[in-house]
């Protein structure tokens, strides 16, 4: 590592040296999982060797970012994406960008610690559908959700946001319950508050699931999409009974108060 730093510092032109397959030392660093080398190159984005090497493509058209994404090296991919000179939308000889490789590498199942994707995915410059649209309309910006612009998509975003907020607040509340300095009465209140938030989170998650299903099925199986929304709505009717119980409790309270006190 130290000889490499000295070599790059004194002779930055060495960074552009390639092997017969067009690979630079950065390609090899990613393949050999040398995170310290990748982080060193990307951290000093103002140096000449950083600008000259991060976008170099080998004989297959792959940059170091392509290799990092294909191999599932998230830490290296973060460093390469964070470099100001890195062009994250470069296509290889197969016409695939790093984002295309990332989407193609997602397998079915449950994942923890990975971000959620939008229903229908997002646009990328290499999408065939995007190229078809270019003839009749401007090409959508990379990263823009494909199904944006409908009420169902807005409902999905709002429901998903509520799910995240309620579940996060419930988690923080339950963690605070574990503090030894909190008295038992306060803990009971916090647990009740967390349960209410978790219930709201579950309802919002169900709504987001129904909106996502409708977005994906509306144009191909409209009847199935409507049926899924109706079944989800029936499952959420328990919220209606909760509102009715709250209304009855509030009515009983208001009957014991004068109009002036109620306004107060």
Rg (CA), the chain: 27
- The β-bridge partners of 145 are 122
Query: Is the distance from CB of 84 to CB of 113 less than 8 angstroms?
Result: no
Three-class secondary structure of residue 191 per DSSP: helix
Answer whether residue 113 shows pLDDT above 80.
no
* HSE-CB of 202 using CA atoms within 13 angstroms: 11
Diameter of the chain by CA atoms?
89
Between 128 and 17, residue with greater pLDDT: 17
Answer whether residue 131 shows pLDDT above 60.
no
Q: What is the DSSP-derived secondary structure letter of residue 40?
A: H
Between 221 and 66, residue with greater pLDDT: 66
pLDDT of residue 165: 92
pLDDT average, residue stretch 127-146: 57
| Two tokens, residue 103 | 């989407």
pLDDT average, residue stretch 232-250: 70
- Residues 6 or more apart whose CB falls under 8 angstroms from that of 38 comprise 26, 29, 30, 64, 68, 76, 79, 80
pLDDT average, residue stretch 5-27: 66
| Two tokens, residue 107 | 């397998």
Answer whether residue 130 shows pLDDT above 50.
no
Answer whether residue 103 shows pLDDT above 80.
no
Q: pLDDT per residue over 223-235, tens digit each?
A: 888 887 888 777 7
Between 46 and 32, residue with greater pLDDT: 32
For every residue of 61-88, which 3-state class applies, written as one string?
Answer: CCCHHHHHHHCCCHHHHHHHHHCCCCCC
- Contacts by residues 173-176 (CB-CB < 8 Å, ≥ 24 positions apart): 173/197
Q: How many CB atoms lie within 10 A of CB 159?
A: 20
Burial class of 129 by CB neighbour count within 10 A (0 to 12, 13 to 18, 19+): exposed
Q: How many CB atoms lie within 10 A of CB 151?
A: 9
Computed over every residue of the chain, the mean pLDDT equals 76
238 falls in which pLDDT band (50, 70, 90)?
Answer: low
139 falls in which pLDDT band (50, 70, 90)?
Answer: low
User: Any idea which of 53-57, 108-112, 137-141, 247-251 has the lowest mean pLDDT?
Assistant: 108-112
Look at residues 85, 11, 3 and name the one whose alpha carbon lies nearest to residue 50.
Answer: 85
Query: Is the distance from CB of 15 to CB of 49 less than 8 angstroms?
Result: yes
Look at residues 134, 147, 111, 140 and name the one whose alpha carbon lies nearest to residue 219.
Answer: 147
- The β-bridge partners of 122 are 145
pLDDT average, residue stretch 177-205: 85
pLDDT of residue 221: 81
| Two tokens, residue 69 | 């994404």
pLDDT of residue 136: 44
pLDDT of residue 254: 65
Is the pTM higher than 0.85?
A: no
Answer whether residue 97 shows pLDDT above 70.
yes
Answer whether residue 186 shows pLDDT above 70.
yes
pLDDT of residue 88: 83
């Amino acid at each position: 590592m130290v000889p490499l730093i000295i070599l790059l510092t004194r002779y930055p032109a060495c960074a552009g040296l390639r092997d017969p397959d067009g690979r630079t030392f950065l390609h090899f660093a990613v393949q050999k999982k040398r995170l310290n080398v990748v982080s060193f190159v990307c951290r000093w984005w103002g140096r000449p060797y950083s600008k000259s090497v991060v976008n170099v493509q080998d004989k297959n058209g792959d940059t170091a970012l392509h290799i990092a994404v294909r191999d599932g090296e998230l830490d290296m991919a973060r460093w390469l994406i964070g470099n100001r000179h890195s062009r994250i939308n470069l296509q290889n000889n197969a016409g695939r960008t790093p984002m295309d490789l990332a989407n193609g590498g997602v397998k079915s199942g449950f994942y923890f610690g990975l971000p959620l994707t939008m229903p229908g995915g997002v646009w990328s410059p290499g999408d065939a559908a995007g190229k078809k649209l270019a003839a009749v309309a401007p090409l959508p910006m990379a990263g823009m959700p494909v199904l944006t612009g409908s009420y169902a998509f807005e409902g999905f975003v709002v429901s998903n946001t509520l799910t995240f907020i309620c579940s996060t607040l419930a988690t923080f509340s339950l963690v605070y319950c574990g503090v030894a300095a909190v008295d038992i009465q306060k803990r009971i209140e916090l647990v009740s508050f967390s349960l209410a938030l978790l219930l709201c989170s579950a309802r919002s998650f169900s709504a987001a699931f129904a909106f996502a299903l409708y977005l994906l099925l509306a144009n191909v199986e409209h009847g199935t999409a409507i049926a899924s929304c109706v079944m989800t709505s029936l499952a959420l009717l328990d919220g209606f009974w909760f509102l009715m119980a709250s209304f009855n409790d509030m009515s009983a309270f208001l009957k014991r108060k004068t109009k002036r006190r109620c306004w107060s």
